[in-house]
Amino acid sequence: MSKSIYMKIKEEVLAPELMAYTLAKLGSYEWNRTEMYNLNRIYEKPAGFYFRFHNADQLYEELKHCIQHFKGNLEWMIYVSPLTKNQNYVIELADVHRAKQTEAYQVNLELEEVLQDSYKEICEQAIQDIPLLCNHIEQWFGLEHKQLHPPTIPN
């Protein structure tokens, strides 16, 4: 089992964990899914990061502004997940978010069917974008030499 991102230096962080590591420098997580995608099954689902900071209302708006200014292979976005009661946030591709809003997705929950021929390319380009997006976030917020905030256990 791999050690926690909190026990790693940046060079030890696995590619799917990079967003979790980067954003832990920005704020304290109450909850997160550390890996954005499955390294062994990259086509299982498109990369996405699911998380919630502790007491960080304004931080989400600043992060949204930062992500909107990222110029990568694809367009990324951040939004509040409609499927949670705890105001969890999602960072994912805009194309994936739009696909999830379609009637076809609502019927069978299969992104590959909605995105069709572009699905595999989207998965691959998202993975290529992640280190670039993380670097963009680090530079935007001046996080290059910051320490990770320890997680917060919600009350």
Greater confidence (73 vs 100) lies with 73
- 86 within a domain of the structure (yes/no): yes
- 150 within a domain of the structure (yes/no): no
Q: What percent of the chain has pLDDT over 90?
A: 70
Q: Which structural domain range is residue 89 located in?
A: 5-141
- 55 within a domain of the structure (yes/no): yes
Q: Is residue 155 pLDDT above 70, yes or no?
A: no
Q: Is residue 30 pLDDT above 80, yes or no?
A: yes
Give the per-residue pLDDT at 83.
76
Long-range (24+ apart) CB contacts under 8 A made by 112-120 are: 112/43, 119/43, 119/46, 120/43
Q: Is residue 26 pLDDT above 60, yes or no?
A: yes
- 151 within a domain of the structure (yes/no): no
Total domain count, the chain: 1
- 99 within a domain of the structure (yes/no): yes
- Mean pLDDT, residues 22-26 taken together: 97
Q: Which residue has the tokens 């670039």?
A: 132
pLDDT band (50, 70, 90) for residue 105: low
| Residues 6 or more apart in contact with residue 33 via CB below 8 angstroms | 20, 49, 50, 51
pTM of the model: 0.91
